[in-house]
Structure 1
Amino acid sequence: MISLGALRGRAAGPTVPAGVARHLGLLTVLLLVGLFTALKSSAFLTGANLLNVSQQVAVTAVLAAGLTLLMTAGGIDFSLGSIAAVTAGVVARLIASGTAEWAAVLAGLAVGAAIGFGNGAAVTVFRVAPFVVTLATSTVLGGVALLIIDGQSVSIGDHLEGLGFGEVLGLVPATVVVAALVCLAAWLVMRWTAFGRNAFAIGGNEDAARLAGIPVARTKLLLYTLGGLLAGLGGVMLVARLGAASPGTGGLHMELTVVAAVVIGGTALNGGSGTVTGTVLGVVLLGVVANSLNLLQVDAHYQDVAVGGVLLVAAITNHLRGRISLKGFL
């Protein structure tokens, strides 16, 4: 005997897997941009260009992974790009002064984690709005980064060459492997650990989470510290890739790019919802759009307009995914 539910399932036809449906709009925009560029430029789908895009988005992906966890818990951090800039300056200065590579890298990671901890303490202990705290921190760190390098480029020579230009198995750039491992770790934390579930609970309803016994303040503090640590790692990757710490490295542009990637990927600004998969797609979309505009030789004055338009369409499409039932259209 066939149940009514089974009949309905047959009548509805095939359904889209939940994971695919969640990011269908974003995937569609990404594919359309890629298809259009491939038709206009034969260089787009070459191995060299795709590797170049992957290297360009690697640092953004590392920062965005940490921000995804934080925003899922209802937090926000606009200082990540500036933390990366400060870290890059610290690492470059230490290496230039003769400090061992590993010591300089550890010092840079420690600086990033310490700044993240400071942001978290201001938010959790002093109850200052995250937007205000991190925006102020970003402004301060922007000046600190310039002071560290004295407003000039500080070269590290051939140090950290293995990270900046090395390849794993002779195929995949080391920076891309690092970014992939960080994103995988963030995905595992969000999906399979109590810490990840706590972040979702806090973002969904902080008061209810507190009443349920979840250590809200401690969790938020750890998330801000983790975000700072990953921003520090991003700074190390930047200086390794560029071979120097220079004015303009990291900073506000990177911060806005990271936030845009996470939001486009489906993470809610008010918390309680988010996926690392969506964030990775958002990061890739930003990288593909920037690369496409360069290949198509779009005038620099129009590039920001074009990027903003694509991001707006992607964000709206992604937002509507929860309101429209895909079953009704299949």
Structure 2
Amino acid sequence: MAAPTATLPAARPTAWKRLLQHLRSDYLLYLMVVPGLLYFCVFRYAPMYGALIAFKSYRVLDGITGSPWVGWHNFAQIFSSPYFGNILTNTVLISVYKIIVGTPAAVALALLLHEVRVRWFKRAVQTITYLPHFLSWIVVFGIALVVLSPSSGLANKGLEAFGVSPIEFLSDPTWFRSVLVGSDVWKNIGWNAIVYLAALAAISPTLYEAAAVDQASRFRRVWHISLPGILPVIVLVTTLNIGQLLSAGFEQIFVFYNPAVYSVGDIIDTWVYRQGIQGFQYSVAAAVGLFKGLVGCVLLLAANWAAKRWAKSGLW
């Protein structure tokens, strides 16, 4: 009697073959991804070649390849500048203030709107709060000038009615950062709240129904259901904002600031604009940009690590 022959296990497809199988079966989905990949390749990754300017004494007529190498000279020039410590401090402080004030304000607005039961009122408030997001900073500055002008501003008119001397909000270093943060929150609070409202809408209604059966108050429902439900989104948004810590909002500050508030309002981007663009020091501007990118990457990784460790949620 012949011995039974052992059946060999079927060969497992290699990773390359599995990829080809996925491409054949879901090729339409992969085609939809191609435009996005092309965008990042052309407008995000290809321009990284220009980072070489940071290590060269760039001359427009010689181009990037023809300009001489100077190594770390541009970085040394930046870090040895007497203004660098001040502008770095201003940048970090303004960004931190915006995160500390703006994120809780947007979360609070989203929670309040989520609890509103009158639908037309909820839509009206949401529309009114997110419309300023579409205004340019030039328009916002005009509004701030009408409200905060020391001679004819509405705020100072109100202070004069109580016997308080007018305050130069836009040219007083004591108040300038508060004006920046307040105008930024006013402009973006409604738009930022949309993200949290979407997260609140994804929470299962059965959780609220069970809490109502247990006679939990509305505050308890918000504290124990709504906030934990949107915590991953809060962590995600905060982590991304921390990654942009060295970008305090060039357009806003460029429109609002003046020489009287340089000591508290001058940030890295505005300093680079004056030195790199107006002063034709393109290599210095590129070096600052590369420095910001590296610091932002480190901050993003650190914030994501901290979020995963303490909040059990992160970007990846």
What TM-score, normalized by structure 1, do the two folds share? 0.30
What TM-score, normalized by structure 2, do the two folds share? 0.31
- Greater relative contact order, per chain length (Cα 8 Å cut-off, separation 6+): 1
Computing the radius of gyration from Cα coordinates, the structure with the larger value is 2
